[in-house]
Amino acid sequence: MKMKRIRRAPGGSAFPPRGSETDRARALRELDRVRAPLFAEMRELARDPSYRPEEPPHHACLHPKNQMRISPLEAEAIAEAFRTRPELRRKLPEIRKRLREELTRLEDTTRRQSFSCPLLEKKLCLVHGAAKPIGCLAWNPGREFSEVGWFAFARRDELNDALEPGWKLRVIPLWLARVLGEPLPRPPRRGPAGGPTPGR
Q: Summarize pLDDT for 47-100 with one digit per residue, the tens.
A: 888 877 777 878 999 999 999 999 999 999 999 999 999 999 999 999 999 999
**Is 85 a member of any domain?**
yes
For 69, the 3-state DSSP assignment is: strand
What is the count of structural domains for the chain?
A: 1
Residue ranges making up the domain that contains 82: 21-180
Distance, in Å, from the CA atom of 82 to the CA atom of 61, rounded to the nearest integer, reads: 20
pLDDT reported for residue 18: 54
Which stretches of the chain score pLDDT less than 70?
A: 1-19, 190-200
Strand ranges, E, within the chain: 69-70, 120-121, 124-125, 170-171
**Is 189 a member of any domain?**
no
**Is 30 a member of any domain?**
yes
**Is 190 a member of any domain?**
no
pLDDT reported for residue 136: 94
**Is 90 a member of any domain?**
yes
**Is 39 a member of any domain?**
yes
**Is 50 a member of any domain?**
yes
pLDDT reported for residue 17: 45
**Is 12 a member of any domain?**
no
pLDDT reported for residue 28: 95
CB 125 within 8 A of CB 119: yes
pLDDT reported for residue 52: 78
DSSP 12: S
